[in-house]
Amino acid sequence: MLSRDMWHKYAIIYSLDVETFMDGNNDGIGDFKGLSQRLETIASLGVNCIWLLPFYPTPNRDNGYDIKDYYGVDGRLGTLGDFVEFMHQAQELGMRVIIDLVVNHTSNEHPWFHSAQEDPDSKYYDYYVWSEEKPEDADEGMVFPGVQESTWTYSEKAGAWYFHRFYKHQPDLNISNPDVQEEIRKIMGFWLELGVSGFRIDAAPFLIELRGLDAPKDTDKYQYLKEFRQFLSWRKGNAIMLAEANVPMDKVDEYFGDGNKLHMLFHFMLNQYTFLSLVRQDASYLREALKNTPDIPNIGQWAIFLRNHDELDLGRLSKEHREEAFEELGPKENMQIYHRGIRRRLAPMLDNDPRRIKLANSLMLTLPGSPVIYYGEEIGMGDDLSLSGRSSVRTPMQWSSRKNAGFSSAPEDNLIRPVIKDSEFGYKNVNYADQSRDEDSLLHWMRRALRARQECEEFGAGNFELIDVQESAVLAHRCWTDEGEVMAIHNLSDKEVSITLNFDSKVDHLLDVLGNKLYKPEDGARKLTMEAYGYHWLRVI
Ligand code: MG
């Protein structure tokens, strides 16, 4: 196989929620029609893959992650026809599309759950996880501590308790039931036929957990991942699965297998240590996290991100480090959530300092893996802490300084969520149209950086090695393939530092890819002066 066939190693992924991106019919809710109108803007950023958050019919009590029909488009967002039209246009612009596969649970309004509750003899009863008695551990293991009270809820209709790892309106599917596995394959097959290039697997560790199930004790739960992968590969050879799996590094092997399970995992640990390093202005945490990242199969790839539609989860840091990160990035109680995370976007967390925002994005684009950008981050959008839970970071895209941020011309009260209006991050101050016209804007920097990233594909597809620089504030690394070599150097501190790059390979010239300067190292001295929060991407030529 030629390496180019592994497109996910060259992917630059842009994640968005249709309902908050662009409203095409002016009812106040984003939709596929609006999204299709804005595809050129996504493509012009340098993105080659769009990840759509759930758009299926839903009661929408968990941002669409509560699904009542896996084979449709929620009426508020358009029709299946609009979806196909969107797919066609995305492909015309050279962008792949991956979609959320949310099969750990359904909505309690899904017809399967209705049938299960109404008739214990129905085949749908065993689609879910039941208990006659209230299990002893019913009050443990909540995903949303402080919001969710239990993981088991009594159904009056069924006369039994059902398991729900998430909210009580999201009963867990029984993965060990072959009929459920068959349903999952059918759902995947359906969307593959409509042209998607793969799936972001929601809550992967919970999807395969066997808690509360009567599965035989020797069941290998990771086997399910292999079976889904086999099905996927039969149906569409180059389709991928990207898992949301915030798991310890010693479990990573189970998810990638020997290249026969999942293709991609979000690197949650690296994400948390990136923020810790930024907070402490000390790259040694990042270096440790990179050293502790296990080798993965050749076909495997890490998804590298800064922010997403959920909280910034800091649960894998030590208590002391987490408190320090809270203090710096989200000191007020209403900025924190679930005792483990921060419900803010990147720019507010970094005090809207353009140097630090670019530094963080530069790290995301050069750490080994494929970057995943959350919509709005390309213009440095803020958050709305007056909204509950994770809605704070799910406000409408700020397109322009016109009414409702150019997102919709509906009356303001009809908007899916209010647009941000505060003086610093409000849409009059932070919007796509203004930044498009301003060469010094974050948007222009992101476009340049993403184009540069496309030219430095070694960061995604190459081998990786840390470079010793004898300076704890600086992270330096190199990535290479048979065809080329690039380096990235980041100064996390607010002070200028001088470093010496210590590496073995012979170097005549270094081209500064972002700055377009040529360095000629003197006698192998390889000395560099890094400005405060400075970064360099260097191509060896
Ligand atoms: Mg609409």
pLDDT in tens, 53-107: 999 999 999 999 999 999 999 999 999 999 999 999 999 999 999 999 999 999 9
Ligand 1 centroid to Cα of residue 222, in Å, is 40
Cut 0.85: pTM above it: yes
Please name which of 383, 301, 287 lies closest in space to residue 341, comparing C-alpha atoms: 383
pLDDT at 525: 57
pLDDT class for 220, splitting at 50, 70, 90?
confident
Please name which of 189, 154, 182, 184 lies closest in space to residue 168, comparing C-alpha atoms: 154
- Asked if residues 50 and 296 have their Cβ atoms less than 8 Å apart, the reply is no
Greatest pairwise CA separation for the chain in angstroms: 80
Active-site residue (options: 66, 202, 383, 384) = 202
Catalytic residue check, 218: no
Ligand 1 centroid to Cα of residue 76, in Å, is 6
How far is it, in rounded angstroms, from Cα 492 to Cα 495?
9
Mean predicted lDDT score pLDDT of the chain: 95
pLDDT at 212: 59
- Rounded to 5 degrees, φ, ψ at 266 are -65, 135
Tell me: pLDDT of 3 over 90.
Answer: no
Type of residue found at 79 = T
Ligand 1 centroid to Cα of residue 69, in Å, is 20
Fold of 7-105+178-453: TIM Barrel (3.20.20)
Ligand 1 centroid to Cα of residue 306, in Å, is 29
pLDDT in tens, 101-158: 999 999 999 999 999 999 999 999 999 999 999 998 888 888 888 888 899 999 999 9
Ligand 1 centroid to Cα of residue 169, in Å, is 26
pLDDT class for 213, splitting at 50, 70, 90?
low
Identify the CATH homologous superfamily for domain 111-163.
Oligo-1,6-glucosidase; Domain 2 (3.90.400.10)
pLDDT at 1: 52
Active-site residue (options: 31, 62, 244, 383) = 244
Catalytic residue check, 244: yes
Fold of 462-540: Immunoglobulin-like (2.60.40)
Delimiting residues of CATH 3.90.400.10 domain(s) in the chain: 111-163
Ligand 1 centroid to Cα of residue 272, in Å, is 36
Any idea which residue has 């999204």 for tokens? 35
Pairing label, strands 49-52, 13-16 = parallel
How far is it, in rounded angstroms, from Cα 473 to Cα 494?
9
Ligand 1 centroid to Cα of residue 94, in Å, is 25
Delimiting residues of CATH 3.20.20.80 domain(s) in the chain: 7-105+178-453
Following DSSP, what letter does each residue of 432-475 receive, concatenated?
HHHHHT-TTSHHHHHHHHHHHHHH-THHHHSEEEE-B-S-TTEE
Measured in whole angstroms, the distance separating CA 271 from the mean position of its chain's CA atoms is 10
Delimiting residues of CATH 2.60.40.1180 domain(s) in the chain: 462-540
Please name which of 337, 344, 432 lies closest in space to residue 384, comparing C-alpha atoms: 344
Distances (CA, A) of 145 to 66, 141, 171: 18, 8, 17
What is the average per-residue pLDDT within 336-341?
A: 95
pLDDT in tens, 476-498: 999 999 999 999 999 999 999 99
Q: Which parts of 280-382 are beta strand (E)?
A: 301-305, 312-313, 336-337, 341-342, 370-374
pLDDT at 209: 86
